[in-house]
Structure 1
Amino acid sequence: MLDESFLRTADLPVGDRFEAWTERMGRTHAPMRLASDRAADYRGEQRLVGLGDVTVWPATFDHLVFRRTPKLIRQSDPEVYHLSLLRRGEAAASWGSRQVAYRIDDFHTNSSSRSYDISTGPEPVSMIGVEIPRALVALPGHRADRVIGSRVSSREGMGALLAQFLIQLVSDTGPYRPSDGPRLGTVVTDLVTAVFAHALDADREVPPETRARTLTVGVKAYIRRHLGDPELTPARIAAAHHISRSYLYRLFQAEGITVGAYIRDQRLRRACRDLADPAQRTTPIHAVGARWGFPRAAEFTRAFRTAQGVPPSEYRERAWAADRAEAARQGCGPSSGPSAKQLWTGRR
């Protein structure tokens, strides 16, 4: 499991809640002055996920005003860039005379080295924050700083790629080991660098290795979106990304896996999830295979047995038995959620 910590102010005495939240925000990004019209009984939840030098933190919290002043910068500057993906609510920021309003699915960009005022709306805000050392963004500092204060959309382009990665990451960190943290941090760093470069139209300044890793993330996201298509081939993937098949193969060789193996692994993971889902108990096994890109039942069974050591029918029975046993242990009826995360063995 990744390095994580949690804060939920509802678990604290009412009088301590806002102070605890203020301290938490100061440690997460940089010391700030915080104010809120809900300070008397402040409600906020934050999960801090450590990825080496990078931190990702999903949070939901009441109305809040953040102020980082020149004095606070002189006292303490961790020299980090901050990005936050707004998932619910509204917010606005100002840097002197410059003001920007943020909508849902916008990225807000900031720097601990600049003074600012940020205010959220009256309703609770949900967001995913990212803290990344400025030195890790592979662009000249004076260029990268020009992105600060910009509103970056997560609905298209590099912003969409970064948003998809962050949302998937924070939705379930269970499959990752502590040693995966720095590697995931490198992916986030590359994506942030690509987002900044795109905003500056400065792709040529991005190191080749960063471009390659960013492209690999995009290719993988494309594959996951099209797993159900039995015609998902390396040629089609390469064409969709305007690269040659040989370059596509090299991207995956750098990851120690082939394109075909990655597609097969992702398809089988989705199939495992569906087979272990009690809500899909009556779905024919061949239909599960077809849903995830195995139109021929024999091909699905063969690939599944190779990966899991048992045929799909036996896997489903074991999953259902494990679900019933867990329900009996807890003294309740069968659960309605899938248990594929526990059952997937990761065998190749």
Structure 2
Amino acid sequence: MGHTTIDTAAVAERDRLDFWRSTVCDQFVTLDVRPAAGTDVHGRVTAVSMADTQLRKIAAGAHRFERTTHQARTADEDYFQIALARKGRTLVAQDGREAVIGPGDFVLYDSARPFRFVTAGDFEYSVCLFPTRLLPLTRAELGAATAIRFDGRSGLGAMVPPLLAALHRLDPESLPAASRTAIMQSIGDVYVALVRSRVDAAASPNVHLMRAQAWIDEHLADPGLAPADVAAACSISVSYLHKLFGETGTSVAAYVRERRLQGCYADLARSGCDQLTVGAIGARWGLPDSAHLSRAFRARFGVSPSVHRARSAGSGAG
């Protein structure tokens, strides 16, 4: 879809509250929308989609937005989100943490769990909603980075404001489907960098874990790759290897599976691999059984490998 702007000024005053609540839930995720002004609400949302990534701008008066446990559990899709403040101050709460953001600051938050936004007055945000299923991050990593203030003017955080501004200016419909997919993958890489900057800051990196992950990444093409091989290559015991991965909220097998599926996902969208069959791509990543690949891919990404490839090539792409 192209750019769409929805404004409460377009409807009668008596209908604005219901219209606004419906708009926010439709354009973001289902949540409780409570404007401080009651029925006298004024708000505007601008929406654009980039492949599976949703980009939004929202401006309104003082509000309280709250995602409940029930709403999170009954959602069809989970999104890991960036909210960049452009105007006003907001209290953001999730996972037992609270952060206050002002213009130029942003937070990460997860629609899979309850969260709360309380604005001090008029506000404007830029919001990026990225499907959590496409992020190669563990639940522990995701949960460690929510409701923490990032400074959008310095360090790693300085990448986010110009990125969101550029994405809002793009016309996705004018881009080839492969370009949209590549942009979406780049956005996902930014999410990973942001999350891991917080996770790494909270815990000293384990050299053995880093070495094991690097060795696995170099040997993913081997379908017989096993924990014993990894442990032997890193001169540690198998039990210690499992302990290292367990401390990150995952397992050796889950890490290998995720890296392989992410590799297949990227190759299926890459024009340089369009002459390879799905089975051949799976084999390059240590998944030679096409039926197993299809099941695992669908469970991870919500679509079959062939559908993902067709969408990336432009067939059926939105």
Aligned to 1:55: 54
2:160 maps to which of 159, 162, 168:
162
Q: Secondary structure at the match of 1:3?
A: coil
- Identity within the alignment, %: 19
> Shift of residue 89 of structure 1?
0.7
Q: Secondary structure at the match of 2:3?
A: strand
Aligned to 2:90: 91
Provide the C-alpha distance between the structure 1 equivalents of 2:181 and 2:15, rounded to a whole number of angstroms: 34
- Paired amino acid for 1:199: R
Q: Secondary structure at the match of 2:180?
A: helix
Per-residue deviation, residues 249-282 of structure 1 (Å, max 9, x unmatched)? xxxxx999xxxxxxxxxxxxxxxxxxxxxxxxxx
| Kept after mapping to 2: 8 A contact 1:106/1:153 | yes
Aligned to 1:330: none
> Shift of residue 144 of structure 1?
2.2
Q: Which has the larger radius of gyration?
A: 1
Aligned to 2:131: 133
Provide the C-alpha distance between the structure 2 equivalents of 1:141 and 1:3, rounded to a whole number of angstroms: 33
> Shift of residue 88 of structure 1?
0.8
Provide the C-alpha distance between the structure 1 equivalents of 2:90 and 2:191, rounded to a whole number of angstroms: 21
Equivalenced residue count is: 209
Q: Structure 1 residues 200 and 72 mapped into 2: Cα distance closer, same or farther (>3 Å)?
A: same
> Shift of residue 10 of structure 1?
0.8
Q: Structure 1 residues 145 and 41 mapped into 2: Cα distance closer, same or farther (>3 Å)?
A: same
Determine whether 1:145 maps to 2:104: no
Q: Structure 1 residues 255 and 126 mapped into 2: Cα distance closer, same or farther (>3 Å)?
A: farther
> Shift of residue 6 of structure 1?
2.0
Equivalent residues in 2 for 1:186-201, closer than 5 Å:
186-201=185-200
Per-residue deviation, residues 204-232 of structure 1 (Å, max 9, x unmatched)? 67999xxxxxxxxxxxxxxxxxxxxxxxx
Aligned to 1:13: 12
The two structures, once aligned, show a CA RMSD in angstroms of: 2.9
Provide the C-alpha distance between the structure 1 equivalents of 2:176 and 2:79, rounded to a whole number of angstroms: 23
- Paired amino acid for 2:118: S
- Paired amino acid for 1:140: T
Bigger relative contact order, structure 1 or 2, given CA contacts below 8 A and separation 6+?
Answer: 2
| Kept after mapping to 1: 8 A contact 2:80/2:109 | yes
Provide the C-alpha distance between the structure 1 equivalents of 2:58 and 2:163, rounded to a whole number of angstroms: 16
> Shift of residue 172 of structure 1?
5.1
Provide the C-alpha distance between the structure 2 equivalents of 1:138 and 1:163, rounded to a whole number of angstroms: 23
> Shift of residue 96 of structure 1?
7.2
Q: Structure 1 residues 181 and 44 mapped into 2: Cα distance closer, same or farther (>3 Å)?
A: farther
Residue ranges of structure 2 left out of the alignment (5+ in a row): 218-269, 273-318
Provide the C-alpha distance between the structure 1 equivalents of 2:190 and 2:174, rounded to a whole number of angstroms: 19
Provide the C-alpha distance between the structure 2 equivalents of 1:189 and 1:174, rounded to a whole number of angstroms: 17
Aligned to 1:120: 119
Per-residue deviation, residues 143-179 of structure 1 (Å, max 9, x unmatched)? 1221011111111222211221111222454894363
Aligned to 1:28: 27
- Paired amino acid for 1:136: L
Q: Structure 1 residues 95 and 168 mapped into 2: Cα distance closer, same or farther (>3 Å)?
A: closer
- Paired amino acid for 1:191: V
> Shift of residue 38 of structure 1?
2.0
> Shift of residue 199 of structure 1?
2.1
| Kept after mapping to 1: 8 A contact 2:30/2:71 | yes
After TM superposition, the score normalised by the length of structure 2 is: 0.59
Aligned to 1:67: 66
Provide the C-alpha distance between the structure 1 equivalents of 2:52 and 2:198, rounded to a whole number of angstroms: 23
| Kept after mapping to 2: 8 A contact 1:50/1:181 | no
| Kept after mapping to 1: 8 A contact 2:98/2:148 | no
Q: Structure 1 residues 113 and 52 mapped into 2: Cα distance closer, same or farther (>3 Å)?
A: same
Provide the C-alpha distance between the structure 1 equivalents of 2:180 and 2:49, rounded to a whole number of angstroms: 7
Provide the C-alpha distance between the structure 1 equivalents of 2:118 and 2:46, rounded to a whole number of angstroms: 21
> Shift of residue 48 of structure 1?
1.0
> Shift of residue 5 of structure 1?
2.3
> Shift of residue 39 of structure 1?
3.1
Aligned to 1:308: none
- Paired amino acid for 1:67: E
Provide the C-alpha distance between the structure 1 equivalents of 2:154 and 2:21, rounded to a whole number of angstroms: 33
Q: List 4+ stretches of structure 1 deviating above 6 A.
A: 202-208
